[in-house]
Each structure stands twice: as C-alpha cells, then as structure tokens.
Amino acid sequence: MNDPFKKNAKLVLANGTVFNGYSFGATGKALGEVVFNTGMTGYQEVMTDPSYFGQILVFTYPEIGNTGINFEDSESDKNIVKGIVVRNFSNNTSNWRSKLSLNEWLKKNNVIGLFGIDTRALVKILREDGSMNGIITNEDISIEGCKHYLNNFPDMKGLNLASKVSTTKEYLWDHFDSDFSYGKLSINCKKEKLKVVAIDFGIKKSILNRLSYYGCEVIVLPFKTTIENVLSHEPNGIFFSNGPGDPACVHEGIKLAKELMEIGNIPMFGICLGHQIFGLALGGKTYKLSFGHRGLNHPCGTDNKVDITSQNHGFALDADSIPEDVAEINFLNLNDKTVAGLRIKNKPIFSVQYHPEAGPGPHDSDYLFNNFVSLMLERC
C-alpha cells in the first residue's frame, strides 16, 4: 500500500481544482472529459462501454474492484475509458468468474487509476459546474504543466468520436452468451433468422447479444457505410447503435438515417447516439447536457407507464426542434423531462435515449427488442 503521507498522483480539472490521491493501474497521464456514473454494479461493463471512449470516469459508489475482472462481461475489447477515479479500490477479489484483479486489468489496458480522494466533493463540482476536461497523472508534472496540457485539449462538444471506435470492417454476429439470456421470448421466430444490419457508432456487445437472442442474424457495418451497402444485404431491419462524442458531428450517420427514413418501409431501431442521429435526421437539434445522464436508475415514460432505465450520454435532443407532424416524443426522462424516446409517425421507426440491453442493469425496457422484431416479422 502507498504511504498515506506521500500521495503520488493527482487529478487537475479545467477549472483549476486539484485532487491529490494515490495511483493504481497504468502509469503516465490521461486527459479527457471527467464524468461520473452513479451505478452500484457493473464497473467492468461501464469501463468497456465505447460510449465512454475519451473520458475519465468517476465512480460514485465508494469501493470498486471487489469482484475483479472476468473474460465475458466486457462490452468492448479496446474502446474503453482513459482513466478512472474511485474513493477506494479493492485489490482483494472474490468472485468465481474473476480472472484478473482490477489493478491488473488497468495495467494491461493502459488505463490510469486514481483513488483516495473525496469523490463526493468531485461529483458536487461536476454537478454544479458541469462535466469538464481533466488530467490524471502519476508523473512528476507540475500543476501549471497540467493546466498547459488542458488548455490545448479539445472539448467534447464538436468531436466525432464514432469515427474512432467504429469497426473498420464488416462482420457477422449471430450468437449470444447463454449467461445473458434473461427474460422470455414473446415472439414466434421463423426458422430462418431475421437479418439485421447494425450501424456501428460504438456498439456494445450486450446489444448484439440481445438482437441475437431475439432471433436475428446481425451484420455489423462501419459508421460511414453507404445506403447502397446497407440495402445490398436486403435487411429485415436496420439498427443504429450507441457511441461516444457529439452526435451533431456524425454527418455520415445523419445522412444515412435521413436517406433510409425517406424509404420508410424498413423497420429501424436506434439506441442512445443512434436515437440522437434519428432526431437530427428529422431536422432536430442536439445540445450538451451539463453533467449528462450516467447510471442505472433513470425513470422514463409517459401516460402512467414508467421504465427504470440504464443511461450513458452527455447530449440530448431538443424537444422543441422535433417536427410534430413527422415524429412523436413517446418517452421522457422523468428526472428532467429531456427526450428519451421517439417514434416516427406512419413508419416502423423508433428510438430511445436509454439502454434496453442494460447488461447489467434494469431489464424493464427489454421489450423494445421484441417490438423491433415484431415490426420485422409483420413485413416478412
């Protein structure tokens, strides 16, 4: 254990606030937008969610690491967080599925960790002043040196990070993990699998697993694929995935969504960034939230129906910018009334801001995959 009188690492925020703590994981420095997640479980899935790419993640739950890391639950193999900040981390793992300690995994994946700081005070700053850039370092860099790095680091607004995390090659996903087969199928799947083209803006493995579980053969395409390539696969449905960065900068995805919506007879489903892209394709606008929605307990719904949802996003659709004659806002985040769901009128196209795959997390909204498959079956 580090000598408590010799704190060997620090976090410096863009507003000048400094937190001194102890280092674990990789060595060096990491710059990124500092955000917080309020989930009490699933730190492995959170750290490997491509939507956190380019960010430094603060866990509000006070102790992280006690169940270690396994080889099954990662949402991505390489598109992961830049750094993590925790109140305390446990290097003493206890779980029958564990293969590595959190510390070992961080070193292996070059993720810098900081512990031993007051994460409550840090989160309070982020809630009051908004998410901001920061730097974690366990190197001998002065405070002024850290500020210099931050002054030359870009803000999240204006960044197309989907281009950094999307697959570069087309691939087929037609299997799912048996450990992830919660719930029951409520559809009558055809013997021949439904074919879904998924546009990858930073897709999570859990989403691919849910689509497979519901009887889909999934062809994953890069974020800048063309409509000609999509249609060449003769899909029963088209899926737009989650992903990091500013949605307004994903011009290729917005163009593709608009072209597909004009066709209008192929079922389409979007999650998170995919949902925002759908809204932008309709002529809507997005804006950056002060500190985002990142956690497992966000209530969403309308008309006396509420789903408890898992969320991870820093941008949202402007409700007033969505054309009422074209689309219906059918879900709201009940904490702040931001747009949480869209449905295109008279077309089999819908999207949600939250994560119905929720692995781990609440499963209230898993039925949305069933709805997507039902729309496809109606047109087979």
Reduce the secondary structure of 68-119 to three states and give it as a string. CECCCCCCCCCCCCCEEEECEECCCCCCCCCCECHHHHHHHCCCEEEECCCH
Residue 275 is among the residues annotated as catalytic for this protein: no
Residue 355 is among the residues annotated as catalytic for this protein: yes
For residue 244, give the nearest of 203, 208, 206 by alpha carbon.
203
* Number of other residues whose CB lies within 10 A of the CB of residue 268: 26
Q: Report how far residue 81's alpha carbon sits from residue 111's, in angstroms, rounded to the nearest whole number.
A: 7
Query: Which member of 75, 272, 298, 313 is catalytic?
Result: 272
Confirm if 132 and 14 have CB atoms less than 8 A apart.
Answer: yes
Residues in the chain: 380
Residue 378 is among the residues annotated as catalytic for this protein: no
β-partners of residue 307 are: 300
Q: Report how far residue 20's alpha carbon sits from residue 130's, in angstroms, rounded to the nearest whole number.
A: 21
Q: Report how far residue 377's alpha carbon sits from residue 380's, in angstroms, rounded to the nearest whole number.
A: 5
By CB atoms closer than 10 A (0-12, 13-18, 19+), residue 121 is exposed
Binning the chain into helix, strand and coil, the percentages to the nearest 5 are 25, 30, 45
Cα distances (Å, whole numbers) of residue 92 to 72, 88, 121, 143, 157: 20, 12, 26, 33, 39
Cα distances (Å, whole numbers) of residue 347 to 229, 261, 265, 327, 374: 22, 8, 7, 9, 14
Confirm if 365 and 352 have CB atoms less than 8 A apart.
Answer: yes
Identity of the amino acid at 51: S
Instruction: Give catalytic residue positions.
Output: 272, 355, 357
